[in-house]
Amino acid sequence: MVIRKRGVVYFLSGLAIGIVTVVGIASTKIDPGTTKVEMTSEGRPQYKWHVPHVPASIDFCGEPAPLKEPDVYEKLDRELTVNAYLHGTQLYILKLKARYFPIIEERLKANGMPDDLKYVCVAESALQQNAWSGVGAASFWQFMKNTGPAYGLEINDEVDERFHVVKATDAACMYFKTAYAKFGSWTAAAASYNCGMAGFERQAEFQQATNYYDLIFPEETNRYVFRILALKHIITHAKKFGMTVEPNEEYEPLKYRTVIADKTIPDLADYAKANNTTYKMLKIYNPWLRGHRLTVRSGKTYEIQLPL
């Protein structure tokens, strides 16, 4: 099915911020007497970067990663090293999680899914609701346009529920429930979210193994679960990685009132104005509204969120 892919947006956004920061630091003159930073012969600061410590143990949905296996250890070490130094991206995730984690966690719990699955969402989109991949996967869970409807998402020119965090999370839960029933492992289910259930099954049959950690995949899937594990560890222990977001710096959940739309709205700008808000705010609160109007067919209703 493959639900692709946030990788380029996620990586490049952090890389750009990192480059600007490092270039700025490197061009700054520092008085050797006022800092412990070592100085080069040209009088420029020489910073020391340290490899993050790999935890003694880590699990995904209660399934331990076999870190005593050298290749497993090294793959996690790689993802920790790469992701721990995407400071701008990680700090932005820490701000966004205050807004979106409570919603995602509630839907995971309501669907009987493990809480760790929220880190799949982080790996997919960095919690950015307007994330797009180069192949057309969209929003929080990076569903493709042609696969979203199979998991209950309405996708057309006016409505795209891939951008609806509640409905998209419910759709992802439907996928994980099916994948877990098929493979008997949450780790395998998560890996299949990247390569598709058919792709995972094909590799498992050929290699005569079912454990993700015993299989070899194309590079993106080889790294995928380890990226999820790394993000879980970094987000859970952010301060140990030198990243601190104070409560007043987090993005609060949007406060809203719900209005039921049971008939067609011919002009969303007029609708917003009639409800004492703006078209911009209507779209911010309802990113799944993709057009300028909303067609409501007989017997159908939509819940629209409006600012308080």
Answer yes or no: is pLDDT of 180 > 80: yes
Cα separation of 189 and 173, whole Å? 11
In this prediction, residue 1 carries a pLDDT of 52
Query: What's this model's pTM, rounded to 2 decimal places?
Result: 0.86
What pLDDT does 28 receive? 47
pLDDT for residue 39: 83
What percentage of residues in the chain have a pLDDT greater than 70? Answer: 88
- Reported confidence tier of residue 80, pLDDT bands at 50, 70, 90: very high
Is the model's pLDDT at 261 over the cut of 70? yes
Task: Look at residue 4 and tell me whether its pLDDT is greater than 70.
Answer: no
Residue 56 has pLDDT above 60, yes or no: yes
- Main-chain dihedrals φ then ψ at residue 73, nearest 5 degrees: -60, -45
Instruction: Name the residue with higher pLDDT: 176 or 10.
Output: 176
Q: What is the pLDDT of residue 36?
A: 55
Q: What is the mean pLDDT of residues 41-59?
A: 89
Long-range CB contacts for residues 103-108, cutoff 8 Å, separation at least 24: 103/165, 103/166, 103/169, 103/253, 104/140, 104/165, 104/169, 107/166, 107/169, 107/170, 107/173, 108/169, 108/173
Return the pLDDT at 47.
76
For residues 112 and 167, give the distance between their C-alpha atoms in angstroms, rounded to a whole number. Answer: 15
| pLDDT at position 32 | 46
| Band (42; pLDDT cuts 50, 70, 90) | confident
Mean pLDDT of 124-140: 95
- Dmax over Cα atoms in the chain, in whole Å? 76
38-42, 89-93, 124-128, 271-275: range with lowest mean pLDDT: 38-42
pLDDT over 60 (residue 25): no
